[in-house]
Amino acid sequence: MTTTMMRLRQHLGLASSPAIYTSAIARLGNNTAHHRRRTTRPRIMSSSASDSASPAAPFEKPRAVVKKVLAESQPEGQGATVRRSIGRHELRSLDPFLLLDEFSVSKPAGFPDHPHRGFETVTYMLEGAFTHQDFAGHKGTIKTGDVQWMTAGRGIVHSEMPAGDGVQKGLQLWINLSSKDKVIEPRYQELESKDISRAEVDGVEARVIAGEALGAASPVYTRTPTMYVDFTMRPGSRLHQPVPEGWNAFVYVVEGDGVFGREKAAPTTAHHCLVLGPGDGLSVWNRSDRSLRFVLVAGKPLGEPVVQHGPFVMNSRAEIQQAMEDYYYGKNGFERASQWSSSA
């Protein structure tokens, strides 16, 4: 069977093996959601964990946790395991976010050749290394603490495979693109760990992947306005972090346990995703005796219809049909797809 044939069969759900695309479509499902447009009033406020003169939270409208979801492990890719939070049944999508996977992968498992169109993937390595290769010759390895911000735009075909021995861990976030950005040329923004802006205030460390926190700012350009911060809080510390009003926001706990939103709330442990309600900032307390590590992610909702078919995310069924056809025939951004296969 030719590669193109296999591709079509896979997309139609006819593939025998390897079945990465079929499983993607089956698991990620067809997700049609209509979102109301909202007005957004992003605000940049000065922020400091030492801002503790007043016992009350320094926000007019502190954000509370409105939903808590445990990211349970599930198979994905080829022999890989992910803990999916955003994108799972209970948390279909949180405009503009489509998916958050905490992946944990050892060779020879991984995510072999697959396409993307219409959104961005942000891969943040927590432990170990991953090698990516795409159909345009872009190749690299990201290691612990590094970030790859990939704007798939009109089309990318790539592989993402573990590079080291043992378990390689990280987070992969999918951010939707607005209709006008779904057809742009693909682009990468890569940050090595040492180049990620960081700040430390009163026992709270922030690594800023996008946006700003504790006075540190990220150089990443976010086409869909996004804030993404990795916080580590020492025992006994607290944090008051502004989050732009009108943006959808969530927390994913990586390690330890913490109290989020309300001082009297029950602590949340690792692998839980917390959806935050409306407001202008988030307060967090670490009352445990070990470090708390979590990511805080917020984004300006696009307010556009979302039609998802596995690794293609567009605004309508017709556009999904077009994406599958383009991928199959190698058109409109997928020209190199038919010739290429990764060396991994």
Q: Which residues contact ligand FJE (rule: CB under 6 A)?
A: 20, 23-24, 76-77, 82, 101, 103, 111, 114, 123, 130, 160, 172, 310-311
Distance of CA 338 to the CA centre of its chain: 28
Structure tokens at 47: 């922020």
The order of strands in the sheet holding 156-162 is: 111-116, 156-162, 130-134, 139-142
Smallest separation (angstroms) from ligand FJE to the CB of 198: 24
CB 290 to ligand FJE: min, Å: 27
291 close to 331: Cβ distance less than 8 angstroms:
no
Least Å distance between CB 96 and ligand FJE? 17
Q: Which amino acid is located at 171 in the chain?
A: L
| Least distance (Å) between residue 94 CB and ligand FJE | 16
| Spatial separation of the C-alpha atoms in residues 20 and 341, rounded to whole Å | 14
Q: Identify which of residues 49 and 161 has a Cβ nearer to ligand FJE in the complex.
A: 161
Minimum CB distance to ligand FJE, residue 311 (Å): 4
The nearest distance, CB 65 to ligand FJE, in angstroms, is 25
Nearer CB in complex with ligand FJE: 172/268 = 172
- Asked whether 116 and 123 are in contact (CB, 8 A), the reply is no
Question: Smaller CB distance to ligand FJE: residue 247 or 250?
Answer: 250
* CA 222 to each of CA 116, 195, 209, 225, 254: distance values in angstroms, whole numbers, following the listed order: 18, 17, 10, 5, 23
Pairing of strands 139-142, 111-116: unpaired
Give the residue with the Cβ less far from ligand FJE, 150 or 239.
150
Choice between 242 and 310, CB closer to ligand FJE = 310
Q: How far is the CB of 24 from ligand FJE (least distance, A)?
A: 3
CB of 168 to ligand FJE, least distance (A): 9
Residue placing its CB nearer to ligand FJE in the complex, 101 or 257: 101
Q: How far is it, in rounded angstroms, from Cα 242 to Cα 294?
A: 16
Between 71 and 220, whose beta carbon lies closer to ligand FJE? 71
Which two tokens mark 39?
């007005």
Cross-strand bridge partners of residue 132: 140, 160
Give the residue with the Cβ less far from ligand FJE, 23 or 237.
23
The least CB distance from residue 150 to ligand FJE, in Å, is 10
Q: Please identify the residue of the shown chain whose CB is closest to the bound ligand FJE.
A: 24
Residue by residue, DSSP assigns 4-31 as HHHHHHHHTT---SS-HHHHHHHHH-EE
Secondary structure class of 313 (helix, strand, coil): strand
Smaller CB separation from ligand FJE, 169 or 272: 169
Q: Which DSSP string corresponds to 150-218?
A: EE-TT-EEEEEEE-SSS-EEEEEEEEE--GGGTTSPPEEEEE-GGGSEEEEETTEEEEEEESEETTEE-
Dihedral angle sign, alpha carbons of residues 159, 164, 166, 168: negative
